């Protein structure tokens, strides 16, 4: 396993659309492991493949609910409600902003064995799913910020603003 370099805003790759995964190969298994390692090392709760320079529809999420979610070719099929709160992104270091997201999300995806499954999430998990799915279509949270994009101090970053 290896820590991969996280691409940051301004890098064109973050603005491109990702391609669906057709089959799981050893390279994809390695990529998924590296994505978790890279995400944990950066204290994030989610990471999408384009953030490490790979234009494939792969997302990893760990919002500390005891699960390590791998979402391949995810598609949001239902949303409900609203939540408005601070959001950060590992690809936009040191910044945060207020983003409104659905409070409930149902997503269908494939797991690391290419088996289809459906995941439902509320609150932080719903926000993470939306944020990561946006990455797969080249969108960043800064596109959706209400009001100003703010600088976050290191303490705030560690305690209050989750990064995806």
The catalytic residues are 132
Burial class (CB in 10 A: 0-12, 13-18, 19+), 159: exposed
Minimum Å distance from CB 14 to Zn ion?
A: 9
Minimum Å distance from CB 141 to Zn ion?
A: 6
12 or 23: CB nearest Zn ion: 12
Does 89 bind Zn ion (CB under 5 A)? Our answer is yes
Does 164 bind Zn ion (CB under 5 A)? Our answer is yes
Does 110 bind Zn ion (CB under 5 A)? Our answer is no
**Dihedral angle sign, alpha carbons of residues 43, 110, 8, 3:** positive
| Contact range with Zn ion by CB under 5 A, out of 13-21, 68-76, 122-130, 156-164 | 156-164
Distance (Å, rounded) from C-alpha 70 to C-alpha 153?
A: 30
Report CA-CA distances (Å) from 38 to 20, 32, 41, 97, 115.
22, 10, 5, 23, 24
Minimum Å distance from CB 142 to Zn ion?
A: 10
| Contact range with Zn ion by CB under 5 A, out of 14-22, 85-93, 97-105, 116-124 | 85-93
Does 61 bind Zn ion (CB under 5 A)? Our answer is no
Minimum Å distance from CB 48 to Zn ion?
A: 7
The residues binding Zn ion (CB under 5 A) are 89, 164
């Amino acid at each position: 396993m290896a820590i991969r370099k996280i691409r940051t805003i301004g890098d064109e790759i973050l603005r491109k659309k990702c391609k669906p995964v057709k089959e799981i190969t050893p390279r994809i298994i390695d990529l998924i492991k590296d994505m978790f390692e890279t995400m944990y090392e950066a204290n994030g709760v989610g990471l999408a493949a384009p953030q490490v320079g790979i234009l494939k529809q792969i997302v990893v999420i760990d919002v500390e609910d005891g699960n390590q979610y791998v979402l391949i070719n995810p598609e949001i099929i239902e949303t409900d409600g609203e939540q408005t709160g601070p959001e950060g992104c590992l690809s936009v270091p040191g910044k945060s902003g207020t983003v409104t997201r659905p409070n409930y999300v149902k997503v269908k995806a494939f797991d690391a064995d290419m088996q289809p499954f459906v995941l439902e999430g509320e609150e932080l998990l719903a926000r993470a799913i939306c944020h990561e799915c946006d990455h797969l279509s080249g969108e960043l949270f800064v596109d959706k910020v209400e009001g100003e994009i703010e600088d976050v101090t290191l303490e705030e970053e560690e305690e209050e603003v989750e990064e995806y």
